[in-house]
Amino acid sequence: MSQEQILLPPGTLWTSVKQTTKHALQCGALQSIPTDFELIEQDGVKFLVRILANLNRKKAATEKQSPDFNPFLPYEQDLFVADISPTHVCILNKFNVVDHHLLIITRCFEEQESLLTQADFAAMGACLADFPGLVFYNGGKIAGASQRHKHLQIIPVADTEIPITPLLKTAKFADSLATIPGLPFVHAFTILNPDEEAEITLHKYHQLLQKVGIQAIDDNLQSGAYNLLATREWMLIVPRSAEEFTSISVNALGFAGALLVRNSEQMQLVKEVGPINVLKKVAFPL
């Protein structure tokens, strides 16, 4: 575990998640968005493509907000899950599509387009130590970020349940960094050790960024948009060229093999084009 100060008592996060979820549903703070889904297979990957059954609830709530509204400062107390560290707290995602979808947010305002820090990775590690999950980060609006306030996201899922896992097993390494032959766009991949310090994870993150041509500019801001995916075992970074493909928005979960469409027309388009080709269109093709 990291040398960063961690306030979260080990082994307590999952219990807190379930308790807060029950409370937030009862009081109406948690407003889950129902979905149906289809599995679309391409190149050995079974993509999970969800179709939103009802977006009206989220649309009505967001239309009432001013353009500079920050839902994380302050955050809703009814969504609070746990104090992670002096710099980070964990809350529920108010408009969740996946059960127990958590946000790891900074207590003070930090730009979503600023590079991740050692404190961010310490908070991430503390959460992943409690239960297996997929952490994802949308680095900038083009990468799918809907809020400017820095927030990592985590969904509870085992590595074996992540659709792109079969591709990751084919990783081609050059020293500590790798590429995945089945991903036809610019990316970089590395292995993580659950027991390593946040400082080491931060170093690997910077190696991945350098590999894909992203660097720090002006007060630690990123030079380009990107998506990050991480589990206890690995980390993947994909630079982004566009926010959407013909009105189909893509965030980091798309690169894990989970896409979200708004209607049957978009679902049909994904089937015709192919999920990997959709990802290729919003990344940088090789």
Among candidate residues 68, 69, 66, 126, the one with its CA nearest the CA of residue 102:
126
Among candidate residues 253, 50, 19, 2, the one with its CA nearest the CA of residue 135:
253
Alpha-carbon distance of 136 to 227, in angstroms, equals 7
Question: Which DSSP string corresponds to 170-230?
Answer: T-EEETTEEE-TT--B--EEEE--TTS-HHHHHHHHHHHHHHHT--EETTTEESS-EEEEE
Q: What is the pLDDT of residue 1?
A: 42
By annotation, the residues acting in catalysis are: 151
Among candidate residues 37, 40, 39, 41, the one with its CA nearest the CA of residue 51:
37
8 falls within a domain: no
180-228 residue pLDDT tens? 999 999 999 999 999 999 999 999 999 999 999 999 998 899 999 999 9
CB 152 within 8 A of CB 104: yes
Angle value at C-alpha 202, between 198 and 208, nearest 5 degrees: 145
Taking the mean position of all CA atoms in its chain, how far away is CA 227?
A: 7
4 falls within a domain: no
6 falls within a domain: no
Alpha-carbon distance of 231 to 222, in angstroms, equals 22
265 falls within a domain: yes
Among candidate residues 85, 125, 117, the one with its CA nearest the CA of residue 2:
125
Given a cut of 50, the residues of the chain with pLDDT beneath it are: 1-2
Among candidate residues 92, 118, 116, 90, the one with its CA nearest the CA of residue 104:
90
- State the maximum Cα–Cα separation within the chain, in Å, rounded to a whole number: 52
Q: What is the pLDDT of residue 2?
A: 41
Q: What is the CATH number of the domain that holds 250?
A: 3.30.428.70
Q: What is the pLDDT of residue 203?
A: 98
Among candidate residues 68, 84, 111, 110, the one with its CA nearest the CA of residue 6:
84
1 falls within a domain: no
Work out how many domains the chain is built from and give that number. 1
Alpha-carbon distance of 17 to 271, in angstroms, equals 35
Q: What is the pLDDT of residue 15?
A: 98
Range of the domain at 49: 13-282
Tell me how far CA of residue 158 lies from CA of 121, 161, 165, 196, in angstroms: 19, 5, 10, 20
5 falls within a domain: no
**Token digits of residue 168:** 């990751």
